Structure 1
Amino acid sequence: MTPEGPHFGQAVRPADPITPEAVHTDYTPKIFGRRILYYDSVDSTNNTLRRAASRGEPEGTVVLANEQTAGRGRLNRTWVSPAGVGIYMSLLLRPQSGGIPLFLYTFLPAVATARALRRVSGLPVFIHWPNDLTLRGRKIAGILTDVRSGPNHPREVIIGIGINVNNMPGDLPPELQEIATSLTIAAGRRYSRASIIQALLEELERGYALMKSGTSMDLVEAWRKLSPSHQGTPVEVVGGRGKNFRGITRGIDHDGALLIEAAHGGVERIAFGEIRRIRGGLQHAPGS
């Protein structure tokens, strides 16, 4: 069974450039995207940007690739990145102080990506803790944040973003066809990748300005509104503190960790791991 949406043939795909010239058309960057390093194919945009950062590239530098041959996601998973259909990008931050909580470097791209996809497509894209993006219950985008620490604060932060834009059902591996989607699969039409990148960079600029100005609670509140599953959702925790258990989500704490009222009793704080939604709810809800 293939994902919902139209069945596409193997027709030649129209040109959909994401070169610096295409991205800068009708878009004037303030920080993110003033310098864009574009590649037709790379192993990983995060790896490519890390090498560029070591050569002194400035804050706001963006790496874009038309294809990744070894794209990475959270928990050391592979991000399937076929040529010409998705957005594979990484951006560089160079924080000047330690006043920004580390979890915001994950919440920032999650909120920006959800807002950008909603702006361009009008589709109901949501955040699944901490930084996966879903559309109608299927994953459409993922984020990988790499932080390199300095003496007193992060020396550099590399944020990788992968988005399934014009992927057809056949572009998804069989094992992902029931759990992943793309804008094209969901809407039955193609989208300009450059237009999505423009919207994404604009949203990143807005969110980063909030972080630097000390009004980051506005960003946290935006994350909450875009992530309804973080409150009152039956879930299974896989790999949290080395144990698996089930419970009900009860919000996030001051460090962005997920709070889960466990079925076996008590509230667990989850800072890392995988959270899977349980369809149909728990057989024995906490407190029952």
Structure 2
Amino acid sequence: MGREGTTPIEVWEGWPREHWRALWGVPVLELYGVAPSTNDIARELAEAGAPEGTVVLADHQTAGRGRGGRPWVTPPGRALLLSIVLRPSVPAEGEATPGVLPLLVGLAVARAIGRIARIRAGIKWPNDVVLADGGKVAGILCEGVLGGRTGGYVVAGIGINVAQTRADFPPDLDGRATSLRLATDRNVSRAALAGRVVAEVLRLAAHGARPLGRALLADLRRRDVLRGRAITVDGERRGTAQGIAADGSLLVREEHGSSVVLVRSGTIRLAEGRSSTREGART
């Protein structure tokens, strides 16, 4: 396809596109050396009726973005940048819970990192994957609609820092971002990681936009790096994170009082100058 600002490629990591499409078992795979945003391309494909499991992968993005439109910048070939078209089911009765989808994708990425890089990854609500030192190693951006003329879709955009060195991160991200190479001191295969990410995302996405069950909540609880920590929401001190609810909301015990509220959106940061006892081991 002749999309503006893109450089389609037919070979990635030494093998042709069809090799990866068949190996990953996906119906459609588009590869780009350069693309403005894999999410934008995947969304265009989804609107045109692309089936679930369609994957768009790029070695470099010129207009990559994270949650809230924040730019996602990384040197070419150092990160794993891909988007997957999902068509999540919704409950026949009761309300859909779209807030679980970024958490399911994040959990899939954390599991894939553990399997391929042999390092434990945690989840920072709602859409970050972090390592033991607190550094962000991956981000998730889910966009789409449930329902609509194409039956509804969600594009799961995934960016994983794989091979960056300290010099690849801007000064304002020093200590806040990391890569699998920095964390493991070894090279991690982007190809192996991509295959595992796709498999895990499609497996967990089969859950659909439904409340999380006990097993998924337990895995998220083990990986939840905010639980028991004092936090701010959109810059305002709110209280202590208590975990993740079945609908994907963040449970927060208010700072002055005993009530627990549901936070469904917002930028979450650890509160400076405060410490809280956290249940369980920190990932």
Q: Answer yes or no: same fold by TM over 0.5.
A: yes
In the TM superposition, residue 210 of structure 1 has moved relative to its aligned partner by 4.1
| TM-superposed deviation, 1:236 | 1.9
Which of 178, 185, 193 pairs up with 1:181? 178
- Counterpart position of 2:229: 233
Query: What is the distance in 1 between the residues matched to 2:166 and 2:15?
Result: 22
Query: For residues 86 and 207 of structure 2, what CA distance do their matches in structure 1 show?
Result: 14
Q: Percent sequence identity over matched residues? A: 36
For residues 64-106 of structure 1, the C-alpha deviation after alignment (integer angstroms, 9 at most, x for no partner) is: 0000011110122111132111011001112354455212211
* One-letter amino acid matched to 1:143: I
Which stretches of structure 1, 4 residues or longer, exceed 6 Å deviation after superposition? 212-215
Q: Does the 8 Å CA contact 1:247/1:282 hold for their aligned counterparts?
A: no
Conserved 8 A contact 1:85-1:166: yes
Residue 86 of structure 2 is matched in structure 1 by 93
* Residue 37 of structure 1: how far off its partner (Å): 0.7
* Equivalent of 2:197 in 180, 189, 200: 200
Q: Which residue of 2 aligns with 1:46?
A: 39
Secondary structure of 2:234 counterpart: strand
Indicate whether 1:277 and 2:270 are aligned: yes
- Can you list the C-alpha shifts for 1:13-70, whole angstroms capped at 9, x where unaligned? xx94586356358x342xxx33211111111110111122233221110000000011
Structure 1 counterpart of 2:243, which letter? Answer: G
Asked if residue 79 in structure 1 is aligned to residue 76 in structure 2, the reply is: no
Q: What secondary structure does 1:63 align onto?
A: strand
**RMSD of Structure 2 on Structure 1 (CA):** 2.7
Partner of 2:237: 245
SS of 2:111's partner is: helix
Q: Does 1:170 align with 2:162?
A: no
Give the aligned length: 260
Take 2:35 and 2:47, find their aligned partners in 1: how far apart are those partners? 17
Change (3 A) 1:262 1:212: closer
Decide which moves more: 83-92 or 217-226: 217-226
Structure 1 window deviating more from structure 2 (134-143 vs 199-208): it is 199-208
Query: Partner of 1:36 in structure 2?
Result: 29
Q: Deviations over 1:235-255 (max 9, x none)?
A: 22225xxxx114111122332
Once the two structures are TM-superposed, the CA of residue 223 in structure 1 deviates from its matched residue by 1.9
Unmatched runs of 5 consecutive residues or more in structure 2: 1-11, 277-283
TM-score of the superposed pair, with normalisation by structure 2: 0.82
- Which amino acid in structure 1 is aligned with residue 126 of structure 2? P
Partner SS state of residue 241, structure 2 = strand
Q: Which amino acid aligns with 1:116?
A: A
Offset of residue 174 of structure 1: 1.5
* 1:126 matched to 2:115: no
